[in-house]
């Protein structure tokens, strides 16, 4: 079966680059929120998140930065969406997109949007 022809001929390459990036960003957020993390484990967790979501369809690259609030009284915290700064790079045919999540001070929540296309 030609999956692309059967299931994706109703949208353009640009739309699919946005679609696949949106899926992976929503997935990443909900998969990893809650994971215990501290300053020592932060980097390995960032790499593990990048590696696992790089496996998803149309994903070329994933960049993850976890912003730990300076919190010296606890030895670890649960990863929350507010700490996530992530860029997911997708490619479909000749179209590239960058999907971003970052905490926006003015909104007081982490926003997912299309940073580049």
Distance in Å, CB of 112 to a copy of itself, minimum: 6
CA distance 18 to 28: 15
Count of H-run helices and E-run strands, the chain: 3, 6
DSSP letter (8 states) at residue 41: T
User: Given candidates 18, 83, 84, 86, which one binds a copy of itself under the rule CB under 8 A?
Assistant: 18
CA distance 19 to 41: 31
Q: Kindly state whether residue 83 participates in binding a copy of itself, applying the rule CB under 8 A.
A: no
Of the candidates 17, 26, 98, which has an alpha carbon nearest to the alpha carbon of residue 58?
17
Distance in Å, CB of 1 to a copy of itself, minimum: 5
User: Given candidates 13, 22, 61, 85, which one binds a copy of itself under the rule CB under 8 A?
Assistant: 22
SS3 for 108?
coil
Distance in Å, CB of 87 to a copy of itself, minimum: 14
SS3 for 30?
helix
User: Residue numbers of the site for a copy of itself (CB under 8 A)?
Assistant: 1, 3, 7-8, 10-11, 14-15, 18-31, 33-38, 40-41, 44-45, 47-48, 51-56, 73-76, 78, 80-81, 106-109, 111-114, 117
């Amino acid at each position: 079966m030609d999956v692309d022809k059967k299931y994706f001929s109703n949208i353009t390459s640009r739309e699919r680059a946005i679609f696949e990036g949106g899926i992976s960003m929503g997935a990443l957020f909900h998969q990893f929120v809650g994971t215990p993390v501290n300053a020592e484990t932060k980097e390995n967790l960032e790499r593990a998140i990048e590696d696992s979501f790089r496996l998803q369809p149309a994903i070329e690259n994933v960049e993850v930065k976890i912003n730990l609030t300076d919190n010296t009284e606890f030895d670890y915290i649960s990863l929350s969406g507010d700490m996530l700064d992530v860029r997911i790079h997708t490619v479909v045919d000749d179209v590239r997109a960058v999907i971003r999540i970052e905490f926006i001070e003015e909104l007081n929540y982490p926003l997912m949007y299309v940073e580049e296309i």
